[in-house]
Amino acid sequence: MRQSISEAEREHIISDYGKLKDEYVKSLKEIEELKKQLDGLKRAGELKQGAAPKTDDERMFQAVTWFEVGYRHSLKNEYDEAIVEYTKAILTHPGMAEAYNNRGIAYKNNGRTDLAIKDYDAAIAINQDYADAYNNRGITYAQTGKRDLALRDYTKAIALRPGFSEAYSNRGDIFYAAGQFDAALKDFNKAVEFKPDHALAYNKRGGAYVSVGDYKSAVNDFTRAVELKPDYDTAYYNRGLAHDTNGMTDLAAADYGNAIELNPGNTAAYNNRGAAYNDRGLYDRAIEDFNKVISLNPRHPYAFNNRGLAYAMKGNYDKAIEDYNGAVFLNPTDAALYVNRANAYKKKGLMQLAVEDYNRAVSLNKNFVEAFNNRGDIFYSSGDFDRAIEDFTKVAALNPKHPFAFNNRGMAFAAKGKFDKAIEDYGRAIGLNAKNAAAYMSRGSAFDSKGMLDKAISDYNSAISIKGDYTEAYYNRGIAYYKKGAKDKAVADFKKACGLGADYGCENAKALGEGR
């Protein structure tokens, strides 16, 4: 089980403090002029000492000074200190919208979203055209799950500043989260159009491309993101996932490795690289990665599950079951974990335990095709053909194009002597896959049981043409030829089966006077 496109980088972009400062340049220049005027007045001895009230210009100067101190604290993530300084600025100059905006950001980063919203409200009340405040309030609304309000604010920010790359990027996030990938792509397109060096927007657009199955465009965007930001571990991770989803597990493993090198604590990258190694048959290397995930996060259910899969592929079902136990303990509501453990029990011949786990799986997910199919297989093997038919019927209903459902149900019908129904199901299986040698072989056997030897031989011929070493098809065709009195052809088929390692073929050939 892989972990999907990293959500860590889907945090909304907060308008850069630097941008706020840049927007305030005009005011700062005015303050510098004010400083010069005040200094000149001091030198001329024209300022009265004592408790004379401050002028508006002096208050503005003091507010800007505290604002700048708050800004420096914000850059160092010292949000409590920043809040104190922004508050001083606001108390000194209540009409300073930028101070409310920046204090709102500090509150938001401290987790005090209610106070953040109030500050953005105040900033907007002072300046109804304040695009950054709308964008930032949208961020906080989105963080608290109020996506409709966030969407409204991002749209307002864009209307006020049509080239606002960050607002487009953030609104794209809202559309992405709602599954509206086309709308998200349009916004991400705008984000990179207005800001071509916007690495995060390229990363986000790459994620949207993955969601619509356009892996080539996704890889191009993730590549652009790491070109713009070479230490962008999440973009490497996401490019790895795009390669992975597209079946290019070698490239995926390399990108997960890049992500790990940049961020050694990235458990998702270790987990997904391990899964890619599993797909490539590199089970020992996969186990090493899953070990690392578990050492970093002992409560990671899918690392236990994936390590269990690796052990199962190595034939070590006891260790696999032990890991599946851990996965189920950590996440008892994931049906897939029970199916994986059931499959391991089945391999060990512990059929009752396997059935119990398949039962749990279908109780959690009533549409779990694999659970019904595998449970039906156990019922068939144990001679409980009616229950097997029920399960295979459920599989066929859930997935009418399932490659095994009709063939399996046909075998169960045949075991009950219902050859017409069996033949019908085998025909459906062949209709889904004309290269299904097993279905031809099984249908041939059903025709044989009904005495329809020519049709049986025709199906055996088809099975053999698809799979030239199909021992059972040669043997069964030999039986059909023998029933038709074609001894030479029967002996030839028995000898072929014998040559493929079937002792019963050798015995029949010998019984007809034609030994090895």
Cβ contacts of 327 within 8 Å, gap of 6 or more: 301, 302, 304, 305, 308, 334, 337, 340, 341
Instruction: Check residue 42 and give its pLDDT.
Output: 42
Cβ contact 99:74 at 8 Å? no
Spell out, as residue ranges, where the chain has pLDDT lower than 50: 5-28, 30-31, 34-35, 37-38, 41-52, 516
The 10s digit of each residue's pLDDT in 217-257 is: 999 999 999 999 999 999 999 999 999 999 999 999 999 99
Helix, strand, or coil (residue 68): helix
Q: Which one, of 208, 246, 161, lies nearest residue 9 by Cα?
A: 208
Instruction: Check residue 390 and give its pLDDT.
Output: 98
Structural domains in the chain, sorted by start: 1-42+54-184 (1.25.40.10), 196-297 (1.25.40.10)
Find tokens 């930032």 and name the residue: 136
* 399/248 Cα distance (integer angstroms): 27
Q: pTM for the whole thing?
A: 0.80
Instruction: Check residue 512 and give its pLDDT.
Output: 86
Instruction: Check residue 337 and give its pLDDT.
Output: 98
Q: Annotate 108-171 with DSSP letters as a single string.
A: HHTT-HHHHHHHHHHHHHH-TT-HHHHHHHHHHHHHTT-HHHHHHHHHHHHHH-TT-HHHHHHH
Cβ contact 312:320 at 8 Å? yes
* 194/176 Cα distance (integer angstroms): 20
Instruction: Check residue 40 and give its pLDDT.
Output: 52
Q: Which one, of 379, 380, 335, 384, lies nearest residue 358 by Cα?
A: 335
Instruction: Check residue 20 and give its pLDDT.
Output: 41
Instruction: Check residue 47 and give its pLDDT.
Output: 35
